Amino acid sequence: MKFDKETAIVLLEAGEPAGPNDVDVFLRQVLSDKSAYPLPLVKRPFRPLIVESFLAQEAAAYRQDFANIGVDSPLQRVCGGQADAIAEILGCEGYVAMIHGRPPMATVVKLMIDEGVKRAVLLPLDPQSAIYSRLAVSQFRQTWQDAGLPADQLVVLDHWENDRALSKVCAQIYAETLAMVPSGTHVIFVAKDQGESVTKQDPEYEANTRDLFALMARETNVEGEAHLGWMASRLAKPHLQPTVESLIEQAGGLGSPAVALVPFGWVADRFETLCGIDIHLGRTVRKHKLRLFRVPTINDRPEFLVAMADHINRRVEGMSA
């Protein structure tokens, strides 16, 4: 595939509300989506009631988090910047499309057609999650075909997290902060807990995440001090152990001087993830009078974007060979 102005890099994301006014619409979209929010068989007939009950319990708290942190979602800005930067390096066009929220698939495909795009490389932004990656790709492919475009002009690049060159760049960025932590610091890599229903349908997710954690711990030279902690989104009850909060509690009980939180994976720039770390986990850290070191997310770093562009170029060349 040749990279030119008729070719697009499309970053595919699950999506989230852009701001407090989008919360109710967004939650209804996700909770009503049988693929994105699977329910046990016995609960499926009651989905409409479950949706309304969830909204009654959680929507106000979600809006309050927006107020507490004082910003709207960074996801569109960050993903848009990533897409533009990678596309500029490769000499093509860059777009972002969301499963839920904005911009939706249909809007993005129409814009691509209007701008003369004829082929696209699809990059799911949550490659460890097979369910969300498949859902994003299938929705985009269907939207593309519904617009009368040929499916054979779409290339899907998944499992980019296994690229050793990319992992080294990520580790170098993490290491800049980890080099400053005092001896005895609890280093906690923060991973997304998808919840029991999704995890059961995605049996490789936990193992893939643990493998990536082990690789990152080795690359950053913190193997002996590193822990993997799971943080559930507000759409899922905690399922995987240990939770990040329990590891912070453990650090306080052991008399550790500090904790260093490392949100890893491309989706670390989601509002919900940042809010969960910076507000909710921050309260637990302060309760135990620990110092907090927060490893910045990598997604605006030029060296990461250059490495991602190189990964895409190598993968596409390999497919064409």
User: What domains are there in the chain, each with its CATH number?
Assistant: 7-15+73-158 (3.40.50.1400), 20-69 (no CATH), 162-294 (3.40.50.1400)
Q: How far is CA 252 from CA 222, 247, 295, in A?
A: 19, 9, 19
> What are 52-89's pLDDT values in tens digits?
998 998 899 889 888 887 778 878 888 888 999 999 99
Which tens digit of pLDDT belongs to each residue from 89-110? 999 999 999 999 889 999 999 9
Mean pLDDT of 22-41: 88
Centroid of chain to Cα 244: 17
Q: Around Cβ 57, how many Cβ atoms within 10 Å? A: 10
The average pLDDT across 265-281 equals 74
Higher-pLDDT residue of 265, 166: 166
Question: What are the Cα distances from residue 93, in Å, to 12, 111, 160, 229, 314?
Answer: 14, 11, 20, 37, 18
pTM of the model: 0.89
Confidence at residue 1, expressed as pLDDT on a 0 to 100 scale: 67
pLDDT digits 0-9 by tens, 218-259: 989 998 889 999 998 878 788 999 999 999 999 999 999 999
> pLDDT digit string (tens) for 297-310?
767 789 989 999 99
**Sequence-ordered list of residues with C-beta below 8 angstroms from that of 219, at least 6 positions apart, any chain:** 167, 168, 170, 171, 175
- Stretch 197-203: mean pLDDT: 81
Query: How much is the average pLDDT of 104-118?
Result: 96
Report pLDDT for 267: 53
**Residue 77 φ/ψ, nearest 5 degrees:** -60, -50
Q: What pLDDT, on a 0 to 100 scale, did the predictor assign at position 72?
A: 81
- The alpha carbon dihedral of 217, 172, 284, 78 has a sign of negative
Residue 17: asked if its preceding bond is cis (omega within 30°), the reply is no
CB atoms within 10 A of CB 195: 18
Question: Residue 120's pLDDT is what?
Answer: 97
Mean pLDDT (the chain) is 88
Q: Is the pLDDT of residue 30 over 80?
A: yes
